[in-house]
Structure 1
Amino acid sequence: MIQNFAIDQAATFESLLFLSCEPKTAFGDAFRQETTKDGLPKWEAQLVARFRQFGRATNEIIKVGLVAERAPAEDLAPATPVELVGFEIGVMDKKDRNGNVTGAQVWYRCQEVRALASTTPRPRRNEAATQSEAAAS
């Protein structure tokens, strides 16, 4: 049984930092990139996910699948804080050779990896004018 769940990134993670994004290669062939049925290339982004577990900060590297014509995060530098658009988790039964359920297989995917906007507060309009006047004098 396969189930997909939408992830509320802000409620789940304290932060997500981009590490890299590479073509997802076909099983058993390190030189052939996997594609969808429609022929779109598949990619795999690696990120550091920071979250709280039992009251303590925990960091894990997660791999997130994407589908895109070209490299989806080529303009992102390593350690860039990011948000994942359309972020979801998939869960399916993991079975042995006899078809017996032995656990669960989990994967992540998203539609887009996007850099977070700057979190530096901008001065208010009057403050900016006051700062400009102070700098001029």
Structure 2
Amino acid sequence: MPQIYAIDQAATFERVLWLSSEPKTRFGSDDQETTKDGVPKWEVQLVASFRQFGRSTNEIIKVGMTSPSWPGPDLGPAEPVQLVGFEIGVMDKKNREGQVVGAQVWYRCQEVRSLAATAPRGKSAEAS
């Protein structure tokens, strides 16, 4: 049974940058996976920067998400992003005999937002 943890992106990473997104496909097939409700699954690739032993380290991470449309059509290469509902899952990795041989880690989020985008103006801002 996996253990799932919410990630505080601002406290964990110095920055998260957009790379790309692709349909998540079934193993050995070109067919895109979907949820039980038929919503397409996507795999988003990002660069996550964090401090380790006093130095900045960059890792490419793959984050799973569901969306009715392709995520990131307005995002440019290396654009800073926020991952809404960002979680990490950890579960035992077992061999064919069922023995634990390590851990399997995966990431998922609900939405990817540009940090460069401006928020819509509220009525109070429009009135001034």
Do the structures match in fold with TM over 0.5? yes
Matches within 5 A, 1:25-64: 25-29=25-29, 31-64=30-63
Matches within 5 A, 1:1-137: 1-29=1-29, 31-117=30-116
Deviation at 1:117?
3.7
* Percent identity of paired positions between Structure 1 and Structure 2: 73
SS at match of 2:50: strand
RMSD: 1.3
Deviations 1:92-117 (A, max 9, x none): 11000011111110000000000004
SS at match of 1:38: coil
Runs of 4+ in 1 over 3 A off after TM superposition: none
SS at match of 2:72: coil
How many angstroms apart in 2 are the aligned matches of 1:71 and 1:117? 19
Structure 2: gaps spanning 5 or more residues: 119-128
TM-score with structure 1 setting the length: 0.83
Deviation at 1:118?
6.2
Deviations 1:60-86 (A, max 9, x none): 100000101010211111111000000
Matched residue, 1:122: none
- Greater helix percent: which structure? 1
Q: Rg bigger for which structure?
A: 1
How many angstroms apart in 1 are the aligned matches of 2:50 and 2:20? 20
How many angstroms apart in 2 are the aligned matches of 1:117 and 1:25? 30
How many angstroms apart in 2 are the aligned matches of 1:4 and 1:10? 18
How many angstroms apart in 2 are the aligned matches of 1:19 and 1:117? 15
> How many residue pairs align between the two structures?
118
2:105 maps to a residue whose letter is V
Moved more, 110-119 or 91-100: 110-119
1:45 maps to a residue whose letter is V
1:19 maps to a residue whose letter is L
TM-score with structure 2 setting the length: 0.89
SS at match of 1:10: helix
